[in-house]
Amino acid sequence: MKEPEPEKFGAHSRRTFLKSLGTVAATTATAQVKSVAAELEKVNAEKVIGPEAVPVTLKVNGEKLKLLLEPRVTLLDALRNYSSLTGAKEGCDRASCGACTVLINDAPVYSCQKLAIEAQGVEITTIEGLAKDGKLTKVQSAFIEKDALQCGYCTPGFVMSVTALLKKNFHPTAADVKHACAGNLCRCGCHPHILQAALKAAGVGHAAKTEIVNYA
């Protein structure tokens, strides 16, 4: 049987092709084992699953979390309600406040507007994953030192955003911090102190020289 050309290898033909091969083929045809296994994986991935709960494996703070979740469960709910990681907060649940910010492969994203099922196979970092052996990170310590919170509800989100910024930009300006944190809102109005904390954590300038930002 001639292999179809890759681009003409549509879902249906591939499915029928694999069905006709059966699973034995994967163990016998040595030369093809790898590609058939890859094809099998694709076919499984293209299977329609749910709406009932299905196995979902997340990698959070370096550890595997094996959960049973309906496809509609958001990453935020998976963390908070299906495991005990309540550090990321739910504010708006509409991608508008930043309280739920987590890092995916070091980039900040809103966990409320992402399904858990599509966050498999990536590195997820939550606020719980920052401190190592009980030792706070520079960013966390700077938030305490600069009194960058009141109620603290927005804090995990801001800390994640600042942490992500400082991984890419070692010497951010005040404008860089504001651009990076624009998607985080603080109802208690701590933005000027948060800015100072971010600059302090980066070791940029002296906090006293920092402009006090008018957020009006």
Partner 1 sequence: MKAFQYATAHSPDSARQLVADNGAYLAGGNDLLGLLKEYLVTADPLVNIKSLPGLNKIEDGRKAWTIGALVTIAQIENHADIKKTFPGLHEAASEIASLQIRNVATVGGNLAQHSRCWYFRQRDVKCLKKHGDLCYARSSENRYHSLFTGNDCISPVVSSLATTFAALDASAIVLRDGKELRWSMAELYAEAWKNPYAHNSLQPGDLIVRVEIPTARSRSAYMQISDKHAFDWALVSCAAAAEIADGKMKSPRVALGSISPVPHQSEAANSFLDGKVLDDATATQAADMILKDAKPLEHNAYKMPMAQALIRRTLLKLKGDA
> Which residues lie near ligand FAD (CB under 6 A)?
95-96
Taking the CA atoms of 83, 87, 90 and 95 in sequence, report the sign of the dihedral they define.
Answer: negative
Q: Go through the chain and tell me how many residues it has.
A: 216
**Least distance (Å) from ligand FAD to the CB of residue 104?**
14
- In the list 73, 190, 199, 202, the residue contacting ligand FES (rule: CB under 6 A) is 190
Nearer to ligand FES, 155 or 210 (CB): 155
* Strand-strand pairing, 123-125 and 54-60: parallel
**Which range, of 22-30, 60-68, 87-95, 144-152, touches partner 1 by CB under 8 A?**
87-95
Q: Which of 143, 177, 145, 149 is nearest to 161 (CA)?
A: 177
Which stretch in 105-113, 122-130, 137-145, 204-212 sits in contact with partner 1 by CB under 8 A?
105-113
Alpha-carbon span 75 to 120, nearest angstrom: 10
Size of interface with partner 1, in residues (CB under 8 A): 39
CA 112-148-85 angle, to 5 degrees, is 35
Q: Which residues bind partner 1 (CB under 8 A)?
A: 9-12, 42, 45-52, 70-72, 74, 93-95, 98, 101, 104, 107-110, 113-115, 117-118, 161, 178-180, 182-184
